[in-house]
A and B are shown apart, each in its own frame.
Chain A
Amino acid sequence: MMNSQQISVLTAAQRRPLLFRKLKNKVLSVFSLFSVVLAVGGMVWILCTVLTHGAQSISWEFLTSPSKPYGEPGSGIANALLGTLMMTGVATLLAVPPAMAGGIYLAEFGQGSRLAAVLRFCANVMMGVPSIIVGLFVYVLLVVSTGNFSGFAGAVALAVIMFPVVMRTTEDMLSMVPVTLRESALALGMSRARATLCIVARSARNGLVTGVLLALARVSGETAPLLFTAMFADAWPGGFFSRPTASIPVLINEYTMNSPFESMHAAGWGAALIICLLILLINILTRSIFHEKQH
């Protein structure tokens, strides 16, 4: 197969004049450079817009006062920021321990087993489920059954999104640990549980932290699953289990999409800047942790 491929390449090359081929190559190279500039330029453009618009509305008061009802000046984002931190925190607590245990099952006990293959497939599929569908699911599960929107429902929705991501990265990171390490731990007389938790998981520690942080970065910007679960409120997150709780992404949606007021748009840009900074910070942190490991 390889031979016939090479021959076809050779004959194809003979049929075309050299100059034409070189020209085509140049054109493609320019197009390729152009696409990279487009992708990176798009990012720079978006971030610059967020930075220039957002920087104007950032102030101490903006960061420390809660949001106000429509049309009232001087609203802040403190309640939404707190809500986002609470919801992502609770989601992490709910999702990470079982997801890691699941990842351990796939990596340590599930090599070659059919059940593990099915579960792995389910996790991959789950990563592709649109986040708004997860919102609908949790709405039925928690909001309908308890009768009110709550920050907790939002946290559960975020946890459902985090779960497969953390599970798959845990599995990938654990399978990168050399088998010899496992064998030597077992040869010393350790139990399987002890060897997994103290030796294998420990040597993959940086990778695991990276996985969790990336999942965290992903869910902290999620809006769609929070629309029907945590909703939005112009108040400090009081009853986490019983009342709607504000979050930065939903605040951005409320302030820009559903509001005609110029001052609210400005506040929306400020909130966008804050969430972007938060996510970029997590990403940079992840990079440095992962980089450390490679040395």
Chain B
Amino acid sequence: MQRRDRIFKWICAGCALCIGLLVPGIFLQLGLHSADAWREFGVGFLWSSDWDPAQELYGAWPNVAGTLFTTGLALLLAVPPAFVAALFVVEVPGWLGRPLSYCVDLLAAIPSVIYGMWGLFVLVPLMLEHVQPFFAETLGLAELPGGRWLLGEDYNGFGFLTAGVILALMILPYMSAVMRDVFRMTPTVLRESAYGLGCTRWEVTRDVVVRYGVRGLLGGIFIGMGRALGETMAVLFVIGNLMEVPAGLFSGGTTIAATLACNFAESDGLQRSSLFALGLVLLVLCLGIQIAAQYYLHLTGAKRGEAR
């Protein structure tokens, strides 16, 4: 009986070890296949903005900048609503809160290609006909000195703002769900004593709940950020797919994931190697974000009781 137990344990451990091999394995694969590009362009690959298949010149900067720009926009648009939405879901009575939680979970389950499609057929015309003319002409932002710099030269519905809006809509439920859990972990005694002192709901949130769970909130934001960085399909449909450094909110561009999806199938030689290098850059970015998220969530994990 002892021996059978040991065999069982080793089988389980072996299966668990697969995951330990997978992460370095992916790194190794991308590293090996991008070796040509790194050898050819060096570290300068990261900030060179060439992309010329005819002359075999490749650089990562338009992609990296586009990825960071869309992610930043998405976070800017999604973090405040996610925060207050989580507040609302925690504070409302159960009969309303539970269906709302369901809805938020369902929103997280819709495939990203549907978001992309909705973006292409609904959001892009909307941006083109109403939102972008409103900002550029009605508000006259395009005429202001810094306007061109902010909005870009022209607009056609596609571009960074459209991608940012879709990404924000996608990551909102994720972040909201994590923040909701963080809010729930504040001890009721602490909250009630603050109410007892005569604080309003907002003051309790700002001075007690947020201070208690600030690391968990950071973890939630990082999780949303990780998703926004690596999102492919939702961005691919609306970004415009131009190999250009971002010129403004309404200008078209590309992100690492979108470039991979567009160009990988037809590429070969040095271009393929450069695409692998782009993938490696994206992987490193995502791992960094994920490690930060895990670190902050781990710090609050003991308080939350982990298993909930």
Q: Does the CB pair B118–A46 fall under 8 Å?
A: yes
Q: Does the CB pair A126–B23 fall under 8 Å?
A: yes
Q: Does the CB pair B103–A123 fall under 8 Å?
A: no
- A93 near B: Cβ within 8 Å? no
Task: Specify which of A21, A137, A265 is in contact with B30 (CB 8 Å cutoff).
Answer: A137
Task: Looking at the assembled complex, report how far the CB atom of B158 sits from the nearest CB atom of chain A, in whole angstroms.
Answer: 12
- B282 near A: Cβ within 8 Å? yes
Q: Complex: how many Å from CA A118 to CA B18?
A: 12
Q: Does the CB pair A167–B106 fall under 8 Å?
A: no
Q: Does the CB pair B232–A131 fall under 8 Å?
A: yes
- B240 near A: Cβ within 8 Å? no
Residues from chain A with a CB closer than 8 A to the CB of B282 are: 130, 132-133
Q: Does the CB pair A192–B5 fall under 8 Å?
A: yes
Q: Complex: how many Å from CA A5 to CA B82?
A: 25
- A36 near B: Cβ within 8 Å? yes
- B144 near A: Cβ within 8 Å? no
Q: Does the CB pair B293–A129 fall under 8 Å?
A: no
Q: Does the CB pair A119–B84 fall under 8 Å?
A: no
Q: Does the CB pair A132–B261 fall under 8 Å?
A: yes
- B89 near A: Cβ within 8 Å? yes
A136-B194 in contact given A40-B100, A130-B230, A164-B19 (Cβ < 8 Å)? no
- A10 near B: Cβ within 8 Å? yes
Residues from chain B with a CB closer than 8 A to the CB of A118 are: 20
Task: Specify which of B117, B169, B257 is in contact with A224 (CB 8 Å cutoff).
Answer: B257
- B211 near A: Cβ within 8 Å? yes
- B11 near A: Cβ within 8 Å? yes
Q: Does the CB pair B118–A163 fall under 8 Å?
A: no
Q: Does the CB pair A101–B16 fall under 8 Å?
A: yes
Q: Does the CB pair A265–B200 fall under 8 Å?
A: no
Q: Complex: how many Å from CA A268 to CA B120?
A: 12
- B87-113, CB < 8 A from A: 87-89, 100, 102-107, 109-113
Task: Looking at the assembled complex, report how far the CB atom of A87 sits from the nearest CB atom of chain B, in whole angstroms.
Answer: 14
- A109 near B: Cβ within 8 Å? yes
Interface residue tally of chain A, by bracket?
Answer: 35 or more
Q: Does the CB pair A191–B1 fall under 8 Å?
A: yes
Q: Complex: how many Å from CA A126 to CA B282?
A: 14
Q: Does the CB pair B16–A102 fall under 8 Å?
A: yes
Stretch in B56-64, B127-135, B146-154, B201-209 with 4+ CB within 8 Å of A = B201-209
Q: Does the CB pair B114–A42 fall under 8 Å?
A: no
Q: Does the CB pair A223–B111 fall under 8 Å?
A: yes
Task: Specify which of A8, A36, A160, A253 is in contact with B85 (CB 8 Å cutoff).
Answer: A36
Q: Does the CB pair A43–B5 fall under 8 Å?
A: no
- B38 near A: Cβ within 8 Å? no
A36-B88 in contact given A137-B25, A160-B22 (Cβ < 8 Å)? yes
Given contacts A109-B12, A119-B16, 8 further A-B contacts (CB under 8 A): A35-B80, A39-B104, A98-B15, A191-B8, A196-B8, A221-B109, A221-B112, A224-B112
Q: 26 A-B pairs, CB-CB below 8 angstroms?
A: A9-B199, A13-B203, A21-B203, A25-B201, A40-B107, A42-B172, A49-B118, A105-B13, A108-B12, A109-B12, A110-B16, A125-B294, A126-B22, A126-B23, A127-B290, A128-B230, A130-B232, A136-B276, A137-B30, A141-B29, A167-B19, A172-B307, A191-B4, A193-B4, A253-B233, A265-B121
Contact surface of B with A, Cβ cutoff 8 Å? 1, 4-5, 7-9, 11-20, 22-23, 25-26, 29-30, 33, 80-82, 84-85, 87-89, 100, 102-107, 109-118, 120-122, 169, 172-173, 176, 190, 193-194, 197-203, 207-208, 211, 223, 226, 229-233, 236-237, 257, 260-261, 264-265, 276, 279, 282-283, 286-287, 289-291, 293-294, 307
